[in-house]
Structure formats: C-alpha cells, structure tokens
Amino acid sequence: MKTLIKIAIAVAIANALFQAGSAYLSYFQFKDSVNELAMHTNGTDAQVKDRVVELARKYEEPVDPDDVSIRREEHHTFIEMSYSKDVQLFPGYVRKWPFEVKVDAFVVAQQKPSPNP
C-alpha cells in the first residue's frame, strides 16, 4: 500500500511538472516570436498589435489586445504585455499563472540597393 501511495504522489508531481513546463514552453516560444516580429516589422502599431494577437492565438496564450503596448524609439521597438494563464497542476486544481512579455528589439533600417552606374 505504501508503494502505491508513493507511486501516486510521484505521478501527480510528474504531471504538475509537465503541465507547468508546457505552459512555460509555450510562453517562451510566444515571446521569441514577438521578439522576431519586433525586429522585422515595418507595419503600423495597429498592424503589429494585430500580429501579436495572432501569435498569441497560435501559441494559445490568453492575451487581451488592450493589454499589448507598443512603443517605438529611433532604432528600437518595445512590445510589452502581461497576462495570466490557467495551468492545471493537479486534477481539480487550476492555478492562474502570471506571464509578462517585455521585448526591446533593435531595428536596423532596411537599406535600399544603390542604383547601378
């Protein structure tokens, strides 16, 4: 009987680690995609925000479009947001896990090719 309890506890802990790990993997993939978007975007702030929301849907991150902040300075694009995601650590126990994305991407202006002489 002791062995069964130990196995059940080990399985529950493994499940919780898997669920938390999956949530963080998705978060890091989303954050990386937002960083890539910030480095290579030429659109308006509204277009960038729409693209961020599309990426959030792709990675199943519950991002509210009103929580996405976009700011541009000379050669930098800043994208910031925070949200909470439900993570089921144990059967019947769901925890809201907070996530924050802060991206500061250096943007190099695209140079036009020089005309042929």
- The CA distance from 75 to 79, in Å, is 13
The contacts of residue 26 (CB under 8 Å, 6+ apart) are 59, 60, 61
Quote the pLDDT of residue 43.
84
Domain around 6: 2-106
115 part of a folded domain: no
113 part of a folded domain: no
19 part of a folded domain: yes
Quote the pLDDT of residue 64.
95
Q: What is the pLDDT along the chain (117 residues), one digit of tens a residue?
A: 889 999 999 999 999 999 999 999 999 999 999 999 999 888 889 999 999 999 999 999 999 999 999 999 888 899 999 999 999 988 889 999 999 999 999 987 554 444 555
111 part of a folded domain: no
Residue in the block written with tokens 């000379």: 74
Q: What is the count of structural domains for the chain? A: 1
